[in-house]
Structure 1
Amino acid sequence: MKHMILLRSAFVLAFACIPLAAAPAFAAGTGRADAPDPLTLDPATMHETGIEIATLARRPLAEELKAPGEVRVDAYSTVLVTPRVEAQVLDRRVQLGDAVKAGQPLLKLSSVAVAETQGALIVAEQDWQRIAQLGPQAVSGRRYAEAKVARDQARAKLRAYGLTEGQIAALLRKGSAAADGGFELLAPVAGRVASDDFLVGERVEPGRTLFTLVEEGTVWVVAQLPPREAERVVPGAAVRIDAHGQTLAGKVVGRAHATDERTRTVPVRIAVDNRRDLMHPGELVDARIAAGGATSELAVPDGAVVLLLNQPTVFVDRGNDRFEPVAVEVGAAREGWTPIRQGLAPGARYVSRGAFALKARLLRSQLGEH
């Protein structure tokens, strides 16, 4: 068995060293008269293998500018959650990494100023309800206005402290027992908790960032381009982002109108759909930004090109359910398409999907496997 493995390994090594001129030998199958041709497939096998045929034609392809980029949070969808009054943290409701909904409690705070205003509102509300029932005819206009203003000012003060109308209504239903200064800080938007820099029991000042909520459905990629190339980038231009072995679609949001003093490059901001949660802030990626007008070129989908003998190859439909590998010269892939410079003519029928399956069948046949 060991000798068989060594013999097969030597055959693969020798096969990989065949010169480019020998590439057409792939079409000959195994060289055995009784061996089936691995590149002849009936319609049922083609369907099972996922092979699809297309006709080679020209298509518009835009020039692309390649640049390194860094993934950052979408600042337009990022919210800092801060207290609006001096308070003490009583309890934590969510943790780092949690996904929260808009209006969901994040933590409970206690504030002396809030307690005083809660009490003032309860008294002012009771006073106003009594005077409103009597009506402006039974009390002086001044007293009527004073009661209403006192009630409205207390409500406005609690809203300024960060309480919602729902929380204020709940306070009034509970009455004086609820005027203890405690209140929950609610999530202003839906998102994921990206930071929670505080401790339970800590006293926090107004404006102190307690949580950072990030909507991860979209992230930014900030690409760095030389000034001359950055001038060719326009808002809305299509972008391909290479990350984690996949290509993600993006769109240029805008570019800076100043050059970075350290790198002498111009930052270009790109919005990328991240609903699959593939990219996270701090990662380094490659961006390919469409620039200039599109040119008409013969092109095939990226997956239609495979390497055989280290040569880009496309499988061509020769009719009668038979395919043949044809060596081609290709250009740089753009927008998911690979330009064909030489090797195929317009109108050629080629394997647009399933080329790797044909390559695998061909290699197995060369090894004597079926």
Structure 2
Amino acid sequence: MNKTLIALLCATLSVAACNKESTSPASHDSHGHTEAAGHGHDHGPAGEKRTHFTDKTELFVEFPRLVVGEKSAFAAHLTTLANFRALEAGKVTVILSGGNLPEEQFSVDGASQAGIFRPEATPKQAGQRDLVIEVATKDFSVRHTLGQVTVFNDRKSADAVPGEEEEGGIGFTKEQQWKVDFATAEVVKRPLRAAITASGTLGARPDGEALITATAAGQIKPAGSFPVLGQAVKKGDVLAYLAPRLGGDTDMASLQAEARRAKVELDLATREHARMESLFKDEAVPEKRLLAARGAEESAKANFEATQARLAQYGSSAGGVPLRAPVTGTIVDIRIAPGGFAQEGSLLFHVADRSVLWLQLRVPEVDAARLKSPVGATFQVDGVDERFEITHGKNGRLIAVGGAVDAATRTVPVVYEFRQPDERLRLGMAVKGQVLLAAAKEAVAVPAAAVLDEGGIPTVFVMKHGEAFERRAIRTGARDGDWLEVVDGLLPGERVVSRGAYLVKLAATKTGEIGHGHAH
């Protein structure tokens, strides 16, 4: 956990506590909102709190009991769900309607501070009214429908109605939420697949990559333009030449001269053999001379072929041994520069076809028995938020499931092939993956990041209202990517802390019940 973030949280909690202590009862009774205090959260026993979500915003609003002719201040905390930060600007309108009475609207054109808007309502009509808070910005407009609210004829009638029982919980105010990496997510029913978590790497197909090494010690010479990283090459392309260092006093020029001498000797022996054949037909020479000429030609031919083979071993051209691309692909690594000296066996170039990759996962031995018929795999790499999925028969295929447990790692390999979905993927990348075991089924689920391990017990923090949370132990099931099945403990429609759960846990050690009023 980032120490700076924790320090910020503690400081914010301390400030909130100090503000709480410094707020006088008089200010609570009058619902005053001074600039120093920000906004009052304590509206006495008759105050109300409502939390509501749209697809773009979260609203947490506090307001006193509404009385005809009395000005009632609303404290509307608005959070943009795209980043869970305070809404900076906009127009907020409180709308009272229904009950066969005229509609009443009360607006404020801006925030008193980031995220907090303070429209003031002075109702003219008593009765049961439908409460809506409308938010309009330059980018969007939304309506938060908050249900019914009672507008009382007088203050005495309002105070005579018992207030709602204050909910306990872990206090974590909107101001604290907006300052840290925080988010909530709805508990949903969604398709989930049983899976096995595994680590692994990305690699090229065995026939889709090649390591080009030095066959002998020697100097590297360019073949035209020297290759560069990322260059596309075809099978057979000459990347460079290796001019070998030969043993003793031998050099390339000597080999070439010896080859030329062998060629001259072969030509002479061939002509001599032809001459002897002609003379033998004319009975001008004995057969012994013909056989000797024939043997000399064969000997010269063998010597010539030997010199050619030796020359080819070190390169038949003046440039040296051609270093050719064994496969079509991209140059992904270069370990030598033009003119550099390479030792025998050293790596010079790495060529790979990155259009098709292999995902090689290592499944722990304890889960190996479940690897009966995998249907696909998913994986993530560091630095990329997106999760990549391989579906058998769609964008990839299962290559193999290992038949033995590795003695060192106690894992079983599972290999999938897939066409590369993203240029950000690189050979050799470490991955965090999952082997999918079955077709999807509907299940209650939450983001996996929402679940903390507290002494071996899966735990989440459930939102009770905008600034109060409840610690709750749950029972989990299958994990599918970033989602985790909840077998027991949560219901669809509830909301849990999906980012910043650890900070709420820290807040639980700093604050008591949320039922006490506090000023921001």
TM tier relative to shorter chain: 0.5 to 0.7
Measured in 2, the distance between the counterparts of 1:246 and 1:199 equals: 37
Amino acid in the other structure paired with 2:135: R
2:170 paired with 1:82 = no
Name the aligned partner's letter for residue 205 of structure 2: D
Q: In the alignment, is residue 69 of structure 1 matched against residue 222 of structure 2?
A: no
For residue 127 of structure 1, the aligned residue among 251, 265, 277 is 265
Answer yes or no: is the 8 Å Cα contact 2:273–2:294 preserved in 1: no
Which of 265, 270, 283 in structure 1 is aligned with 2:416? Answer: 270
Tell me how far apart the structure 1 counterparts of residues 193 and 480 of structure 2 sit (CA, whole Å): 11
Quote the Cα distance in structure 1 between the aligned partners of 2:199 and 2:342: 40
Is the 1:112–1:181 contact (alpha carbons within 8 Å) kept by the matching residues of 2? no
Mapped to 1, the partners of 2:323 and 2:271 lie a distance apart of 34
| CA 228–112 in structure 1, closer or farther in 2 if over 3 Å, else same | closer
Q: Which amino acid aligns with 2:200?
A: G
CA distance in 1: counterparts of 2:416 and 2:272, whole angstroms? 63
Aligned-pair CA distance for 1:211: 0.8
Q: How far apart in 2 are the matches of 1:2 and 1:223?
A: 50
Following superposition, the deviation at residue 255 of structure 1 comes to 4.3
CA distance in 1, matches of 2:232, 2:441: 46
Deviation at 1:81, TM superposition (A): 1.0
Distance 1:271 1:67 in 2: 16
Partner of 2:310: 157
Q: Which residue of 1 aligns with 2:396?
A: 250
Q: In structure 2, how many angstroms separate the alpha carbons of the residues matched to 1:151 and 1:12?
A: 90
Deviations 1:288-331 (A, max 9, x none): 4354xx67979xxxxxxxxxxxxxxxxxxxxxxxxxxxxxxxx9
Instruction: Indicate the structure with greater helix content.
Output: 1
Distance 2:375 2:309 in 1: 47
Preserved contact between residue 93 and residue 105 of structure 1 (Cα < 8 Å): no
Q: Contact 1:100 / 1:187 at 8 angstroms: preserved in 2?
A: yes
1:110 maps to 2:243: yes
Q: How far, CA to CA, are the matches of 1:75 and 1:240 in structure 2?
A: 20
In structure 2, relative to structure 1, the CA distance for the partners of 1:13 and 1:68 (3 Å cut) is farther
Distance in 1 between residues matched to 2:479 and 2:361, nearest whole Å: 20
Please name the residue that 2:334 is paired with.
196
Residue aligning to 1:100: 233
1:210 Cα deviation (Å)?
A: 0.8
After TM superposition, give the deviation of residue 93 of structure 1 in Å.
1.8
Counterpart code for 1:2: G
| Cα separation, 2, equivalents of 1:104 and 1:77 | 15
- The CA distance in 2 between the partners of 1:96 and 1:62, in whole Å, is 40
Instruction: Describe how 1:132-143 pairs up with structure 2 within 5 A.
Output: 132=270, 134-135=272-273, 137=277, 140-143=293-296
Alpha carbons of structure 1 residues 67 and 3: separation in structure 2 relative to 1, 3 Å:
same
Give the 3 Å change call, closer, same or farther, for CA 275–93 of structure 1 in structure 2. farther
User: For residues 143 and 260 of structure 2, what CA distance do their matches in structure 1 show?
Assistant: 87
Structure 2: tracts of 5 or more residues without a match:
1-88, 93-108, 111-133, 148-191, 278-289, 381-385, 443-477, 482-520
- Greater alpha carbon shift after TM alignment, 279-288 vs 214-223: 279-288
Q: Indicate the structure (1 or 2) with the bigger Cα radius of gyration.
A: 2
Task: Tell me the distance in 2 between the aligned counterparts of 1:191 and 1:267.
Answer: 26
Given candidates 123, 135, 146, the residue that maps to 1:8 is 135
- Return the letter of the residue paired with 1:253: I
Helix, strand or coil at the partner of 2:144: helix
- 1:127 and 1:121 map into 2 onto residues whose CA distance is 10
Distance 2:261 2:219 in 1: 25
- One-letter amino acid matched to 2:400: G
SS at match of 1:200: coil
Corresponding position: 1:239 with 2:363: no
Does 1 or 2 have the higher relative contact order (CA < 8 Å, sep 6+)?
Answer: 1
Aligned-partner SS, 2:347: coil
Matches within 5 A, 1:159-308: 159-161=312-314, 163=315, 168=316, 171=317, 180=318, 182-233=320-371, 238-243=375-380, 244-248=386-390, 249-256=395-402, 257-259=404-406, 261=408, 264-274=410-420, 277=423, 279-291=425-437
The 3-state SS of whatever aligns with 1:155 is helix
What secondary structure, in the 3-state scheme, does the structure 1 residue paired with 2:295 have?
Answer: helix
Q: Give the whole-Å Cα distance in 2 for the aligned partners of 1:83 and 1:239.
A: 40
Structure 2 vs 1, CA of residues 101 and 133 (structure 1 numbering), >3 Å: closer, same or farther?
farther
The residue matched to 1:188 in structure 2 has which SS? coil
User: Structure 1 pair 134/13, CA: closer, same or farther in 2 (3 Å)?
Assistant: farther
How far apart in 1 are the matches of 2:328 and 2:220? 22
Secondary structure of 1:123 counterpart: helix
> Secondary structure of the equivalent of 2:91?
helix
1:304-343 aligned within 5 A: none
Alpha carbons of structure 1 residues 295 and 94: separation in structure 2 relative to 1, 3 Å: closer
TM superposition score normalised by structure 1: 0.52
Contact (CA 8 Å) 2:241, 2:319: kept in 1 or not? no
1:230, CA displacement in angstroms? 2.4
The one-letter amino acid paired with 2:236 is G
Residue 9 of structure 1 deviates from its aligned partner by 6.0
Asked if structure 2 preserves the Cα contact closer than 8 Å seen for 1:84 and 1:160, the reply is no
Contact (CA 8 Å) 2:90, 2:136: kept in 1 or not?
A: no
In the TM superposition, residue 77 of structure 1 has moved relative to its aligned partner by 2.4
CA RMSD of aligned residues (A): 4.0
Shift of 1:229: 2.4
Aligned to 1:343: none
Unaligned runs of 5+ in 1: 19-60, 172-179, 299-330, 335-370
Provide the identity percentage. 19
Cα distance in structure 2, aligned partners of 1:145 and 1:184: 31
1:312 maps to none
- Paired residues in the alignment total 241
Deviates more, 1:204-213 or 1:152-161: 152-161
- CA offset at residue 133 of structure 1? 5.0
